[in-house]
Chains A and B, each alone.
Chain A
Amino acid sequence: MRVTVIDYKAGNLTSVLKALRHLGSEPEVTDGDLTLVGNAERIVLPGVGHFQATERLDATGLTPAIRAAIARGVPFLGICVGMQWLFAGSSEAPDQSGLAHFNEQCTRFPQSSEKVPHVGWNSLEVRAGSRLLAGVEPGEFVYFTHSYKAPVTANTAAITHYIEPFASAVENANVMGVQFHPEKSGSTGLKILTNFLSWEGSGAA
């Protein structure tokens, strides 16, 4: 199965590619080939690092290409900053817009006695009906590393508690995102990626 992985020069793609290959898919990487995105069967937008890095998606014309792919029902998975990009923006880079598929803003964890970034294995409260997180049982853990987070809304597929509840996964028809790193989350993460790879569309969001 073909998976188009978007490279916007925000960190390292090796782990994501390795996990996708391990699961039997054939990832193809692009940093701006709009034809490839136009013909994509599935799209993964990874990303570690700063929200500002997503400006490259605008500069290369990938943003409208991805928007069009989503509109024709292509399954899309954003990971970490790639999930946050689905929102209108992030206080990490206030002048940089996201895709605004979801209208809310991502924000930094508030000051507390807890450490920021949130680094390590934390659990998921999966909302009923999530297809991306099907088969993930209560008490399963996934690996996080981030300082900014998305708010809990009607499109939240899983909630995680750290300082306050935040959206650790989002899902709206073919548009999915995870704040954690499924490629680094052991068998639970591989199960989630498998769900994404076997997602069969029922049309666009």
Chain B
Amino acid sequence: MITKRIIACLDVHGGRVVKGVQFVDIIDAGDPAALAARHAREGADEIVLLDITATHEGRQTLLDTVRRTARELFVPFAVGGGIRSADDAAQVFEAGADKVSVNSAALADPTLIDAIGRSFGAQAVVVAIDARRDPDAADPVRDAQVFVQGGRKPAGRRVVEWAREAEARGAGEILLTSMDSDGMRTGFDCELTAAVSEAVSIPVIASGGAGTVDHFVDVFGRGKADAALAASIFHFDISSARSLKQELAKAGVSVRLPC
């Protein structure tokens, strides 16, 4: 039986893993390669590395980090942040990533999704969407606003229609972050996740808000998520992926165990 994936996310800034609350107030959480290896050892089903302050000057640092992180990692490994062209993606794949995650650049030029998919296959393209509910919209959830530039600027797109376009262009997965919930540890936005998951046939990875085991049970059930991302829940020894999955299994969620 297919299992729900627990994905460990490493937000990287200048070669270090960091964690912020609602995209600001950043603190240091360690070395990416060491943390990725630890998460894989402790049962994470996949690793995502997001370069949260991707700058042109930082590209080489990121590629070095990807290379170092990928070296001994034998679970799927996705990398995002600052990928603006198929050439950028090619460099990240060359460094050892299995998937790239694109966000702002895909919103600026959606054909980027087609281009990367053509060269590397749909399974290698994750479209990351940062969304915030729009209380003024007719449907605040389905019409949640999509943001770019690390959540700083509205993109002028609505979450469901953008997710559908991404799928049509050949995205392999959607990584959906609720900006309302991110870093709050108050639970995933299950309504938002379900709205997107029901609108597309590709897998949806829920992100933003993980704090307790029940939050994961909820997002896999009510939220119809295929995978869930956790960052802050792991970094400070609050929980390992394995212990989280053991609890999820007790709650009836199908997960990869032993791992």
Q: Which residues of A contact B (CB under 8 A)?
A: 10-12, 14-15, 18-19, 22, 48-50, 114-123, 139, 141, 143, 145-146, 161-162, 181, 183-187, 189-190
Name the B residues within 8 Å of A117 (CB-CB).
122-123, 172, 202-203
Most buried by B among A15, A49, A121, A189: A121
Chain A at the B interface: mostly helix, strand, loop or mixed?
mixed
Q: Which residues of B contact A (CB under 8 A)?
A: 1-5, 40, 45, 70-72, 74-77, 93-96, 98, 120-124, 172-173, 201-203, 226-227, 256, 258-259
Q: How far is the CB of B1 from chain A (nearest CB, A)?
A: 7
Q: How far is the CB of B104 from chain A (nearest CB, A)?
A: 23
**Complex CA distance for A72 and B172, rounded to whole angstroms:** 39
**Complex CA distance for A80 and B203, rounded to whole angstroms:** 19
- B76: contacting residue among A49, A123, A184, CB under 8 A: A184
Chain B at the A interface: mostly helix, strand, loop or mixed?
loop
Q: A49-B120, A121-B256 are in contact. List 9 more A-B contacts (CB 8 A).
A: A10-B121, A14-B96, A15-B70, A22-B72, A48-B124, A120-B2, A121-B5, A121-B45, A181-B76
- A141: contacting residue among B72, B120, B124, B256, CB under 8 A: B256
Name the B residues within 8 Å of A139 (CB-CB).
258
Q: How far is the CB of B123 from chain A (nearest CB, A)?
A: 4
- A119: contacting residue among B70, B94, B226, B258, CB under 8 A: B226
Determine if B121 and A48 form an interchain contact, defined as CB atoms under 8 angstroms apart. Answer: yes
Name the B residues within 8 Å of A115 (CB-CB).
201-203, 226
Determine if B227 and A120 form an interchain contact, defined as CB atoms under 8 angstroms apart. Answer: yes
Determine if B45 and A120 form an interchain contact, defined as CB atoms under 8 angstroms apart. Answer: yes
CB-CB nearest in chain B for A121: B256
Determine if A162 and B121 form an interchain contact, defined as CB atoms under 8 angstroms apart. Answer: no
